[in-house]
Amino acid sequence: MMTRRIMHIDLDAFFVSVEQVLNPELRGKPVVVGGKPDRRGVVASASYEARAFGLHAGMPLVTARRLCPQAIFIEGSFPRYRETSQRFMAILADLSPYLEPVSLDEAYLDVTGFESIHGSIHQMAVNIKQRIKDELGLPSSIGIASCKVVAKIAAELSKPDGLLKITAGEERSFLAPLPIAKLPGIGTKTERILNGLGINTIGELANMPLSTLKSHLGVFGEFLHRHANGIDDRKIEPPSAAKSISRETTFGEDTKDRSLLEATLQYRGERVGADLRKRDKQAKCITIKLRYADFSTITRRRTLVQATDADQTIFDTGLKLLKIALSQERQPVRLIGIGVSNLTEAGRQLDMLDSSAQKLEQLNKAIDRIRRKYGFTAIQSGRTLPLKDIFPQSDNGYTLQTPSLSR
């Protein structure tokens, strides 16, 4: 079989870099996107100058200010990042159809056999970086390897403004000296378990007997063992029609406040419903997701008898699931999310004969029309009103804490 050539392309300090294009005075300075430090919240993106002070994504803004008082703190604008992301993906799609976007600023390209067009894969990567710089003004980093996991780690190590190619056959020796935390999927919990087994580097993980890893980590151990050995046969999967739609919010501060949790769930549920209707889809399955203060994460789902695209049904179902979940767990909540799956084309359902379902459909259509014209928060249900005091607003809705997008 032909050795694959996979590229992982990731924009450097994405949110910050977009702000620096808009305002060149911010270049070369410690800059943080995430909000003003007098507001609760966390760093979404830090410039490399700010990282020199120890700042990183996920750090509370107050801590960031303490470590680096001279940093410039910016609220940021999610719609702008989304638009930039679309232009970034369009450049990549122009170069290869085998494109898999992973997050707003990160994608894999399968470029196996593209030498004939570009001279070499290395040259192709140089060209991609140049186009991203010329057309978007943004710095990027690219890793090239025979599989996804090695390409991703190579891109990460090459940052900022890097390009690192791992020759086929050298995957294991490239990974071996790296700390295990560099392996995607290893969070603090897994790291601790592995450290407890005397494993600190990816090489040590690769050499560990599979049975030992499986007894401690189950199938996940097997997955990590393969990756540590530079073996990863996951394909590049071009985005297909969405199989699910979801929205989630990480709170600046963990919360037990019922009305805040319900308001956020409703707001997020409405965004999901609007998205469903925009795509002319209905969903049969509603899922909520909760991450607690200790980072443990649960999902709860319910399948409906009839597929729906109504905000009210999505939220009511989510609320029932939320109430059950909260009665079982007393910890504060760090993240709340709601999603729908099992999507079908929005056909006229039989129970449309039922006039209450028909009224709901008309109501939601009217709400969508008004929101398209005047912005998402032009219409609000009573329950989401408390969000007004907590999150800044824009035409596009509330500027909620963006969840971690790539981890």
Rounded least distance, CB 13 to Ca ion, Å: 7
Residue 309 near ligand DCP by CB under 6 A: no
Rounded least distance, CB 127 to ligand DCP, Å: 21
Rounded least distance, CB 47 to ligand DCP, Å: 9
Helix, strand, coil percentages for the chain (3-state, nearest 5): 45, 20, 30
- Two tokens, residue 68: 């680096």
Region 160-189 residues binding Ca ion, contact defined as CB under 5 A: none
* Residue with tokens 């003004």, as numbered in its chain: 137
- Which helix (H) or strand (E) element contains residue 343? strand 333-345
Residue 19 near Ca ion by CB under 5 A: no
Region 363-402 residues binding ligand DCP, contact defined as CB under 6 A: 402
Binding range to Ca ion, per CB under 5 A, among 11-19, 203-211, 273-281, 368-376? 11-19
User: Out of ligand DCP, Ca ion, none, which partner does residue 270 contact, by CB within 5 to 8 A per kind?
Assistant: none
Q: Select 77 or 255, whichever has its Cβ closest to Ca ion.
A: 77
d(CA 97, CA 290) in angstroms, rounded, equals 36
Residue 296 near ligand DCP by CB under 6 A: no
Rounded least distance, CB 99 to ligand DCP, Å: 17
Binder to ligand DCP among 19, 100, 105, 171 (CB under 6 A)?
Answer: 105
Q: Select 44 or 64, whichever has its Cβ closest to ligand DCP.
A: 44
Binder to ligand DCP among 14, 114, 267, 391 (CB under 6 A)?
Answer: 14
Q: Which of 106, 171, 248, 262 is catalytic?
A: 106
Residue 57 near ligand DCP by CB under 6 A: yes
Binder to Ca ion among 19, 49, 105, 171 (CB under 5 A)?
Answer: 105
Residue 139 DSSP code: -
Question: Is 106 a catalytic site residue?
Answer: yes
Burial 310-332 (b: 16+ CB within 10 A, else e): bbbbbbebbbebbeebbeeeeee
Under 8 Å between Cβ of 341 and 309: no
Binder to ligand DCP among 13, 68, 265, 288 (CB under 6 A)?
Answer: 13
Question: Which ranges in 159-246 belong to alpha helices (H)?
Answer: 171-175, 188-196, 202-207, 210-217, 219-228
Residue 406 near ligand DCP by CB under 6 A: yes
Q: What is the dihedral of CA 70, 15, 164, 194, to 10 degrees?
A: 80
Residue 248 near ligand DCP by CB under 6 A: no
- Two tokens, residue 304: 């409906």
DSSP per position, 61-110: HHHHHHH-TTPEEE---HHHHHHHHHHHHHHHHHH-S-EEEEETTEEEEE
Residue 49 near ligand DCP by CB under 6 A: no
Binding range to Ca ion, per CB under 5 A, among 2-10, 29-37, 222-230, 321-329? 2-10
Residue 27 near ligand DCP by CB under 6 A: no
Count the residues of the shown chain that bind ligand DCP, applying the rule CB under 6 A. 18
Rounded least distance, CB 12 to ligand DCP, Å: 4
Amino acid 302 reads R
d(CA 137, CA 131) in angstroms, rounded, equals 9
**Which of helix, strand or coil describes residue 380?**
coil
Q: Select 143 or 203, whichever has its Cβ closest to ligand DCP.
A: 143
Those residues with Cβ within 8 angstroms of residue 186's Cβ, 6 or more apart along the chain or in another chain: 180, 194, 224
Taking Cα atoms as reference points, which of 196, 151, 159 lies closest to residue 175?
Answer: 151
**Which of helix, strand or coil describes residue 13?**
coil
d(CA 25, CA 98) in angstroms, rounded, equals 37
Q: Give the interface with Ca ion as residue ranges (CB under 5 A).
A: 10-11, 14, 105
Active site residues: 106
- What residues line the site for ligand DCP (CB under 6 A)? 10-15, 44-45, 57-58, 105-106, 159-160, 402, 404-406
